[in-house]
Amino acid sequence: MFFQTFKTDVNTDNVNITRSYQPLILDTNGNNSYYVRIKSGSNPNLNQSYHYLVKGKRLSVSSNDASVLVGTSNAVNVQKSAVKWNQHLADELDSKYQRAWIVDAVATYKKSFWNGIGLHAGHQARRYTLIRVPDNSFIYNK
């Protein structure tokens, strides 16, 4: 019972995946205009954080939970392929938002018997963000 409650892995059969799509807003800091600001940490894990604007809100996400696609590259990394992105929809977003958008995918545990025993039902299992920018010149490294 302890294992089922606390140690169960995320299984895609036990989660609902919802995606939200938003256009990026060009940010200016007085000198540069950019869609994404990358801040590198000095920690041993080599994590970075990505900062961006959507609908007037400044958001940030860790590189552990996000990927940045640049230009016309549609290279699929491991995390992105695990979330099962729709390439046709990505092409539509490219034309609609001129290759400046984000997709936020959230996996939530389904309300089932096994998830209920594990106290997971209805809670977030995983969140992943895909950030698309038209060119390297729209990325600001801090």
Do residues 51 and 112 make contact, with C-beta atoms less than 8 angstroms apart?
Answer: no
Q: Print pLDDT tens along the chain (142 aa).
A: 454 545 555 555 677 788 889 999 998 877 789 999 998 877 666 788 999 999 989 999 998 888 888 887 665 554 555 566 677 888 888 889 999 999 888 888 777 766 666 666 767 777 888 899 999 999 998 7
Give the chain's domain count.
1
CA distances from 5 to 9, 37, 100, 115, 118 (A): 10, 39, 41, 8, 4
pTM higher than 0.85: no
Do residues 128 and 65 make contact, with C-beta atoms less than 8 angstroms apart?
Answer: yes
Q: Residue 23 belongs to what domain range?
A: 2-141
